[in-house]
Amino acid sequence: MIRRIIQIDEEKCNGCGACAKACHEGAISMVNGKAKLMRDDYCDGFGDCLPTCPMDAIHFVEREAAAYDEAAVEQNKKLKEAQEKKPFVCPGTKAKMMARNHNANENRTPAGEIQSELTQWPVQIKLAPIRAPYFDGAKLLIAADCSAYAYADFHRKFIRDHVTLIGCPKLDAVDYSEKLTEIIQNNDIKSVTIVRMEVPCCGGLEMAAKKALQESGKFIPWQVATISIDGTILDE
């Protein structure tokens, strides 16, 4: 059908985006820095976009165009609203499980590369989900950030066959016990191993883990390992 519809002069367009904001139907979008009429059937021909253009780059023309489709416009609006409401999820917080071949480290040559024993992601207590498939029947390792740097064989000795959560109460300045309590209460945790450094500030992690075990209302076997700053295990 022949009807009135907008036409955009891309050579005049300065890419300010004012017309796209003014178009209530969503007919105009910015593409490669220029305003573009995306669909004829989204344009109602009222021209709300015209007065907003500082470059006089938009005018009415009479041409063959699809009829204005109000239903399609409303559907597109709802889709955009749903996308805007959808919360942003950082890729670093997405729960993930990883399969590991434990024999690879046992059979490696002296010059061979040591493989990671980490089987899940994320590891930061603050980022960890309350519920995740890898918590089901898990042996939970709650470790201080520095411990893996201080103790050379940390992956084989502690991470292997465990779900690992790490944190530093001094740097994060949060009470880990609340989050850890929720994790223990809402999952089938079989045991808890706490690995801390010998420094006094690391006692906050041990206290938070013990408090979480107590407040969870569950009887779960637990142990504490303390690492010295020179990388030896003081007690476990």
CA gap 104, 114 in Å, rounded: 8
Domain end position, chosen among 85, 103, 131: 85
Residues 56 and 102 in one domain: no
Residues 102 and 207 in one domain: yes
The tally of domains found in the chain comes to 2
Please report the DSSP string for 92-128 in residue order. GG--EE----THHHHT--TTSPPPP---EE--BTTT-
Residues 133 and 207 in one domain: yes
Query: What residues contact residue 17 under an 8 Å CB cut-off, 6+ apart?
Result: 30, 35
Per-residue pLDDT of the chain (236 residues; tens, 9 = 90+): 899 999 999 999 998 989 988 998 889 998 888 999 999 999 998 988 988 899 999 999 999 999 999 998 898 888 878 777 766 666 656 666 666 666 655 655 555 678 899 999 999 999 999 999 999 999 999 999 999 999 999 999 999 999 999 999 888 878 899 999 999 999 999 999 999 999 988 889 999 999 999 999 999 999 999 999 889 999 87
- By residue range, what is the domain housing residue 113? 91-235
Q: Is this prediction's pTM over 0.85?
A: no
Domain end position, chosen among 55, 85, 115: 85
